[in-house]
Amino acid sequence: MSKVFSYSGDDSFCPGGSVYPNPKDSMFLSLGHHVDVYFPPRKRSRITAPFVFSGERFQQKHASIDVLPNECLFEVFRRLPGGQERSSCAGVSKRWLMLLSSIRKEEICTSNSTQSLEPKEILVSVKAIKPSETNKKGGVTVEKVESEAAEDQDCDGHLSRCLEGKKATDLRLAAIAVGTGSRGGLGKLSIRGNNISRGVTNLGLKAVARGCPSLRALSLWNVSSVGDEGLLEIAEGCPLLEKLDLSQCPAISDKALLAIARHCPNLNSLTIESCSNIGNESLQAVGRSCPNLKSVVVKNCPSVGDQGIASLLSSATFSLSKVKLQGLNITDVSLAVIGHYGKAITDLALIGLQNVSERGFWVMGNGQGLQKLRSFAIISCGGVTDVGLEAVGKGCPNLKQFCLRKCSFLSDNGLVSFVKSAGSLESLQLEECHRITQSGFFGVLVSCVGNLKALSFTNCLGIKDSTLRFSMMSLCKSLVSLSIQNCPGFGNASLAMVGRLCPQLQHVDLTGLHGLTDEGLLSFIESCDAGLAKVKLSSCLNLTDTVISALAKQHGGTLELLNLDGCRCITDASLVAIAADCFLLSELDVSKCAITDSGIAALACAVQLDVQILSISGCSLVSDKSLPFLAELGETLLGLNVQYCHGISTGVVDLLVERLWSSDIGALRSGALAMAADRNIYHTRTTDNRKLRSKGSVTLDKFFNIKNQQSKG
């Protein structure tokens, strides 16, 4: 067009130059006070670029996408073709991240509405976008958040994320909301703790609600800055929510839980702990609106009373299978409702209910509604008496597991009557029930009808050792596991009687029985016909090598685990017997025993011994001379504990770590000791390299490590 009019775009249109000598005058032409000027309406420009004066000419700055208002960017972002593009844009700046996280899934344009746009025509070239320096310094990008949890995926195909402590921020939640959309969607989110300076607020939950409609499980623990507003967004944006866990969230009230009940009919698990503003009204709504509710845990909520619990349980009669009530201001009314309406309950726990009396337990047992109850725990409830417990036994014909702790009014008669009534009982645990004596203990053994498999007594100070007579016709042949821990009155006579009454025992835990000697244990092991597989004798101070040698000789063919921690009279002679006879032993703990290098050498020279976990912690007589023997054992070891072995020098520990490392042994240096022990970390080798991984199923008592100790010098 410039050629047609012979106009080059410069001053050629007016050869004489501009009409105004100074271009500024053209912009600020003075008009009279009485001159009317008509300006036709113009469409408002969407992009306004600033200009600056430079000498006689003004120059316009280069237009930037940052000057676009949020409304325009919103329209651009929701038309991006895929999740990867949105994730890339989210890494540009915090502003873009928060804008992208505010887009609901239904607001994203489908491929049909954007298929006419070629990739080169898209306004934002996402491939050319790089995270800004601000985001790099901030340390929060979608790619970084996703890479931190790349392996967290549930069995249903949805992703799982957990934010703890300093990582729990709104920016990370926004990044998760944007990044998980293209990877199957977020299925489970846990927020534990709070960032003091930039903690999770309602804004972060809003981002999750808008970007993660597939969310099925949400846990908020100790998040004081999240209130009703955030949970209301979750209720409206995540209708598929099935599990909700609220712990120490004081800003959340009935209003939020009412919204959850109204919008999330698939809710099947609800946990409320230490939420002072949640009361009866919301629990009533959950019972009415959530027909699939299966699990309810209410703990330390002062506003919850009989009205809420009774309404919830009566509304969910045929679905609710797990109930845990702890530290609530409920009375016998709630227990009566449980006994009548708990037709589907299989697991029940009542903890710290101070306002419940004997009448409540009696009514609950006679309600005939707990026919399906299989597991029952009563802890710190003063209303438990002989009469109430007997009624519970009669009213729960299918009860398999029963745990009773800190119930000081229960006596021998009530315990024996309960065992006789609960004919299906398989496991019985008692702790700190001080009115239970030796008569009650043996009364349980002779009264069980043949189903009791596991019996545990812990810290029951009423048991006193004495000789009792029972008919040999009343043998408890079904009992396989026996645990008697820290009951100081349980001694030789009682243990010898147990051996005669329970010949099929295989797992025995006698931790903390200071009065036990070789005499009582020898009589016991001679009576065990089935063969002992797991024996724990920790802190049995009076046991010697004589009884351990006899144990190895008689049960070495079946013994798999032996714990002698704190048995200070055990010496190398016991290790020699173990090495000779216990060819199935896989776990051995001789911590704080009087063993020396000779005992370690005996274990290393054993032909058939295949110990996988060995603990010699606190064995001060073990020295550097044990290095070759420990290295020899390392061919089969999966764990080794040499903490507080002051006779082993730093250099030897380093050599041991190096040798065991090459044998794929779980050995950690001292710097990682505390962290590893707390997190149950074990070491494994992959095809490419070795790396630390967490394993929840590995218990702490099976975890062993190597700690660098200072040499005596």
Chain mean pLDDT for the chain: 79
Strands (E), 248-294: 269-273
Average pLDDT of the segment spanning 7-29 = 44
Please indicate whether residue 117 or residue 598 has the higher confidence score (pLDDT).
598
Please answer whether residues 551 and 558 qualify as being in contact, where contact means their C-beta atoms are separated by less than 8 angstroms: no
List the one residue out of 629, 654, 667, 630 whose CA is nearest residue 711. Answer: 654
* pLDDT tens for each residue of 221-274: 999 889 999 999 999 999 999 999 999 999 999 999 999 999 999 999 999 999
Q: How confident is the model at residue 661 (pLDDT cuts 50, 70, 90)?
A: low
Residue 245, H or E segment: strand 243-247
pLDDT value for 582: 94
pLDDT value for 550: 96
Please indicate whether residue 80 or residue 489 has the higher confidence score (pLDDT).
489
Q: Which of 56-60, 88-92, 159-163, 489-493 has the highest mean pLDDT?
A: 489-493
Residues 459 and 451: their CA atoms lie apart, in Å, by: 25
Instruction: Kindly tell me if the per-residue pLDDT of 8 is higher than 50.
Output: no
Instruction: Kindly tell me if the per-residue pLDDT of 38 is higher than 70.
Output: no
Average pLDDT of the segment spanning 58-72 = 64
3-state secondary structure of 163: strand
pLDDT value for 666: 35
Average pLDDT of the segment spanning 643-661 = 85
Q: How many residues does the chain have?
A: 713
Q: How confident is the model at residue 552 (pLDDT cuts 50, 70, 90)?
A: very high
Average pLDDT of the segment spanning 630-657 = 88
Average pLDDT of the segment spanning 491-496 = 92
| Burial (CB count <10 Å: 0-12, 13-18, 19+), residue 642 | buried
Instruction: Kindly tell me if the per-residue pLDDT of 181 is higher than 90.
Output: no
pTM for the predicted model, two decimal places: 0.77
pLDDT over 70 for what percent of the chain?
A: 70
pLDDT value for 19: 43
pLDDT value for 348: 97
Average pLDDT of the segment spanning 500-509 = 94
Please indicate whether residue 41 or residue 513 has the higher confidence score (pLDDT).
513
pLDDT over 90 for what percent of the chain?
A: 55
Q: How many CB atoms lie within 10 A of CB 448?
A: 24
Average pLDDT of the segment spanning 137-156 = 48
Average pLDDT of the segment spanning 414-440 = 94
pLDDT value for 111: 55
pLDDT value for 131: 45
CA 462 from centroid of its chain's CA atoms: 36
Instruction: Kindly tell me if the per-residue pLDDT of 690 is higher than 50.
Output: no
* pLDDT tens for each residue of 163-172: 888 888 888 8
* pLDDT tens for each residue of 532-545: 999 999 999 999 99
3-state secondary structure of 647: coil
- Give per-residue burial for 300-313: e unless 16+ CB within 10 Å, then b: bbebbbbbbbbbbb
Lowest model confidence (mean pLDDT) among 97-101, 390-394, 425-429: 97-101
Take residue 559 and report the two structure tokens written for it: 């013994």
* pLDDT tens for each residue of 291-335: 999 999 999 999 999 999 999 999 998 999 999 999 999 999 999
pLDDT value for 686: 29
Please indicate whether residue 629 or residue 170 has the higher confidence score (pLDDT).
629
Please indicate whether residue 48 or residue 277 has the higher confidence score (pLDDT).
277
Please answer whether residues 163 and 200 qualify as being in contact, where contact means their C-beta atoms are separated by less than 8 angstroms: yes
Residues 613 and 588: their CA atoms lie apart, in Å, by: 6
* pLDDT tens for each residue of 185-235: 789 999 998 766 677 888 889 888 888 888 999 999 999 889 999 999 999
